[in-house]
């Protein structure tokens, strides 16, 4: 299947301008960038896609041997860039999308001009010298909950990670977004995400990187933003005036402002 159709690639903005590619996070789809992309369509070519593609509604379309790690998703991203013949791309990645973008940038640095990582994490499990926010027992419990009652887990988790009680419609949207994914695929993607450890890859990033961190995030504590900044050479760290794990939904204005200020400094 053609990679652009498989991942429901959507092009927007100024088709003669430098490209920005938006990579969503776990349980999300491209529609969740809708508050961000319009702000860049005058002077950028915008590219949206779904990580879990059109033919992946069953586990047969989501082969374990390919997607056991995040590298399979990074390869999908690079295939999209190849299909569109894109170079000097600015990647904007939310959560695990930020790490997928980082792996793609390491694999083919000539295609990526800059990377923006929104509430991303290189490792979710605590280690002796690292605070990821969760114990191994915590993550195993999370995976067990997804495996045994995915929709129930979604209903319980969405309010905690959205963390904005003033907009319950966003929490419900997140629940419905989770529900779109086949539970078996959701479990495999969760394993690839929450058991990953890409700390050693950070030093291999040789491009401008902006790390965006919220003041309070149930999935990614502030220490992780600090770690990314300290271990990605030349990176910038900015703390958003926002809470929760989804600032592109719950706090689009400060998110757009931070992204715009960074994008305007990148020479492409």
- Which residues are designated catalytic? 95, 217, 245
What does the angle CA 55 – CA 181 – CA 32 come to, to the nearest 5 degrees?
A: 100
Alpha-carbon distance of 255 to 244, in angstroms, equals: 13
| Alpha helices (H) along 115-201 | 136-148, 150-162, 168-179, 183-194
Nearest Cα neighbor of 20 from 79, 74, 94, 89 is: 89
Alpha-carbon distance of 19 to 28, in angstroms, equals: 22
- What does the block give as tokens for 144? 């067990």
Nearest Cα neighbor of 262 from 55, 116, 134 is: 116
211: DSSP letter: E
Alpha-carbon distance of 106 to 16, in angstroms, equals: 26
């Amino acid at each position: 299947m053609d990679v652009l159709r498989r991942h429901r690639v959507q092009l927007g903005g100024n088709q003669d301008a430098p490209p920005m590619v938006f990579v969503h996070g776990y349980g999300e789809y491209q529609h969740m960038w809708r508050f961000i992309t319009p702000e860049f369509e005058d002077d950028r070519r915008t590219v949206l896609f779904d990580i879990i593609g059109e033919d992946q509604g069953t586990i047969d379309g989501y082969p374990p041997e390919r997607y056991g790690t995040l590298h399979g998703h990074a390869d999908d991203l690079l295939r999209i860039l190849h299909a569109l013949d894109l170079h000097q791309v600015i990647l904007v990645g939310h959560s695990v999308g930020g790490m997928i973008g980082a792996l793609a940038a390491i694999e083919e640095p000539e295609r990526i001009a800059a990377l923006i990582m929104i509430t991303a994490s290189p490792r979710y499990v605590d280690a002796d010298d690292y605070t990821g926010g969760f114990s191994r027992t915590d993550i195993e419990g999370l995976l067990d909950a997804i495996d045994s009652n995915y929709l129930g887990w979604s209903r319980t988790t969405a309010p905690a990670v959205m963390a904005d009680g003033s907009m319950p419609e966003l929490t419900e949207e997140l629940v419905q977004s989770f529900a779109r994914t086949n539970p078996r695929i959701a479990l495999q993607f969760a394993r690839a995400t929450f058991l990953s450890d890409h700390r050693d890859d950070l030093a291999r990033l040789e491009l401008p990187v902006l790390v965006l961190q919220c003041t309070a995030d149930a999935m990614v504590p502030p220490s992780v933003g600090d770690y990314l900044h300290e271990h990605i050479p030349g990176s910038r760290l900015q703390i958003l005036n926002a809470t929760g794990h989804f600032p592109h939904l719950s706090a689009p204005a400060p998110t757009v402002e931070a992204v715009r200020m960074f994008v305007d400094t990148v020479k492409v």
